Chains A and B, each alone.
Chain A
């Protein structure tokens, strides 16, 4: 145990070139992981090609260079910053360049600007402007602004309030027939109106959860559940939206400051899985310790978890799993709804854990206070 703790606290070389490593930089590990996820997805999906100017929002961006020169310059900057970030070098300036070039590309082309790319750019900019103390606050603030206005925009729109938008939108997509079948069981427009108001209230409520610190875990679960449900039903990630929003949630998870220690015995329960997880721990996110017959155990600071809870936490803090999951989900193929199903299952498990923890802490408080209440 003492050896394991020593290994966990051992100072590691800062700025390791290992792309799977997320510790030892100016950013908190999971915030750096979130930036790497977004960057990786952008690479896999070909987003790094960016754009050439077309009817720019800022006039001179269309005139400063030829279209090809402008685009190639942005691409070169983006790719250099991506390599730098993935290799843990100058991580904050790299995020600023990644977000800045993406924002500049959108300012240079009316046709290229989308909400999902704007959010991706701003998430990277917020990470680039943050440090270990401010990262979560800035990302939360960005999410509050996004969801407050997304909900408010719908609320102020008569076609959203009446369900007219939803009725048309659902009608032109491939999942229309299933929706239509359900809608036929109800009076005209009722289902569309319910769905519209559900979206409006969900988005406004999410903005509240990120504004109040103790509600952040609920906000994370809502974002994953809401966007993964949309992904599951529609089969689309809405380009970068699903990736960037869920990555932002990864950045907001409570993450151990020091690499947790994992003890396990190969023959014990979850031993084989732990062995596999150790093998794929390419970024040395954990201090692994094997001992015969020992039950799987994770020690992180004061916290000591066993068996299934320990396994869940190892999966939660395992950067290689995140990077592999997002890279696979980013590959364009028709059956990628699996990623949404996985995300929903994780959110459901986390929600059960959160509720049971709340109930446990409440019952402990009741037990402690009960004697004083007895006359």
Chain B
């Protein structure tokens, strides 16, 4: 009986740790700035962007870029939409997390798996329809 009770208590304690960890992660991610990894921010961000990548001097196709960074490069921005939202003409794709997470993914891939490819990346994006920005790798 006692061991059963303590086992239940242990399970509840583990659950409490998971809940407290979420609170900690949320505070940390807000304090850290631009990312929301494992923080609760469902569908809270909209990045419209274009991505150009060359590896070893050769420009990669959208299919190659999609596979390289596991991004959804479905062309979702028509000319009418871009005109209505005053988005840059080059932007074609949509990313629904903070822009820093997109940059992190590219940077970390290029620092690890892709480090011998001498890749050059140009990311042109707008965040929530704001001003156009450009991010380069290597920066």
Contacts and interface: CB of A to CB of B under 8 A. Distances in A.
A54 B30 CA distance: 25
A113 B14 CA distance: 22
Nearest to B43: A238
A129 B15 contact: yes
Give the interface centre of A112, A142, A146, A169 by most chain B CB atoms within 10 Å.
A169
Interface in B75-102: 76-77, 81, 84-85, 94, 101
A172 B15 contact: no
B85 A168 contact: yes
Contact of A172 (B14, B22, B43, B81): B81
Interface stretch (B31-39, B50-58, B116-124): B31-39
A176 B36 CA distance: 27
Nearest to B25: A149
Most B CB within 10 A of own CB, among A112, A138, A168, A171? A168
A130 B22 contact: no
Contact of A141 (B19, B36, B128): B19
A116 B85 CA distance: 28
A103 B11 CA distance: 18
A55 B68 CA distance: 11
Interface in A104-148: 109-113, 115-116, 118, 122, 125-126, 129-131, 133-134, 138, 141-142, 145-147
Nearest to A154: B44
For chain B, the bracket of interface size reads 35 or more
B136 interface: no
A122 B19 CA distance: 9
B40 A165 contact: no
Contacts of A180: 84
A55 B42 contact: no
Contacts of B108: 55, 110
Interface string A151-164: 01110110110001
B40 A159 contact: no
A297 interface: no
B42 A150 contact: yes
B104 A110 contact: yes
A270 interface: no
Closest 9 CB pairs of A and B: A111-B70, A168-B129, A149-B40, A115-B42, A159-B128, A129-B15, A129-B11, A153-B41, A165-B128
29 contacts: A54-B70, A55-B105, A109-B70, A110-B105, A115-B41, A126-B15, A126-B18, A129-B11, A130-B11, A131-B11, A134-B8, A142-B19, A147-B40, A149-B23, A149-B39, A149-B41, A150-B41, A153-B26, A153-B44, A159-B128, A159-B130, A168-B48, A168-B85, A168-B129, A171-B81, A172-B76, A172-B77, A172-B85, A238-B43
